Amino acid sequence: MEFFPPLELTLLGGWISLLPMVFTQAVNIFTSPPQIRARLFDRSEHSSSQRILLVISKTISILLLILLIFTPLSGEIPEIITGFFIITIGCVGVRMAVIDFIKTPINEPVTRGLYKYSRNPQEVMLSLIMFGACITISSWIALLTLGVARVINHFSIVAQEQACIKQYGDSYKEYMERIPRYFFFF
C-alpha cells in the first residue's frame, strides 16, 4: 500500500470500485416509497453544530470520492479481490438494511433484520463499502480520510438517535440498551 498514490483518471481506476455502491443506492432510492426516502434523509432534528459537523463529514467524504475516482486500482490482484469482496458484503448489507427500513411501519423504530445487531447498519455497511474501495486502490491516505469522515459522522448519528428517542420514546430507549450503535460492543 502507498501513502498517497498518483492521481490520474484511468480506465482501470478506483471509480470502478464505486459502481456497485452507486447501483445499490440507486436501487434503494428508486424502490423506496416517497415517505421512506424522506425518512431516510431527514436531518431536521440536527442542531446547528451537528449540521456543521455533518457538512464537514460530507465534505471529507467528497474528498475521499475524488481520491477514489482519480486513483488507479492497485496492481495487486489479492488487494483488488479483497476490496471487491468487502464492497459486495457492504452492498448486500445496505440493501438488506433498507429493505428492513421499508418494511417497518413509519410509526415504529426499525428493529428487524440487521437492526437486531446494529442501530445503524446502513452507516456501517456504507463504511464497509468505502473501506473496500480504499483497499482496491491500496491507499493509506484514502483509509485515513475515510476514518476521519466516519469519526466526524459519528456526531450526526448521535443526533439521529436523539431524534429517534423524541419520535419513538421509551421503545427506542429500550432498543438502545439492547443493541449496540454500530456492531458488537461499539
Distance CA 185, CA 11 (A): 41
Contact 16, 68 (CB under 8 A): no
Distance CA 150, CA 148 (A): 5
Of the pLDDT bands very low, low, confident and very high (cuts 50, 70, 90), residue 20 is very high
**pLDDT at site 163:** 84
Contact 137, 14 (CB under 8 A): yes
Closest residue by Cα to residue 106 from 11, 156, 39: 39
**pLDDT at site 186:** 56
**pLDDT at site 117:** 94
Distance CA 43, CA 105 (A): 19
State pLDDT tens for residues 114-163.
999 999 999 999 999 999 999 999 999 999 999 999 998 888 888 888 88
H-helix or E-strand spanning residue 132? helix 121-137
- Whether the pLDDT of residue 179 is over 60: the answer is yes
Closest residue by Cα to residue 3 from 143, 183, 111, 173: 143
User: Hey, what long-range contacts does 10-16 have (CB within 8 A, 24 or more apart)?
Assistant: 10/72, 12/72, 12/73, 13/69, 13/70, 13/71, 13/72, 13/73, 14/67, 14/68, 14/69, 14/70, 14/71, 14/72, 14/73, 14/133, 14/136, 14/137, 15/68, 15/69, 16/73, 16/136
State pLDDT tens for residues 65-112.
999 999 999 888 999 999 999 999 999 999 999 999 899 888 888 999
Contact 116, 175 (CB under 8 A): no
DSSP state of 30: H
**pLDDT at site 39:** 78
- Whether the pLDDT of residue 184 is over 70: the answer is no
Of the pLDDT bands very low, low, confident and very high (cuts 50, 70, 90), residue 185 is low
Least confident segment among 4-8, 13-17, 137-141: 4-8
State pLDDT tens for residues 105-115.
888 889 999 99
pTM: 0.88
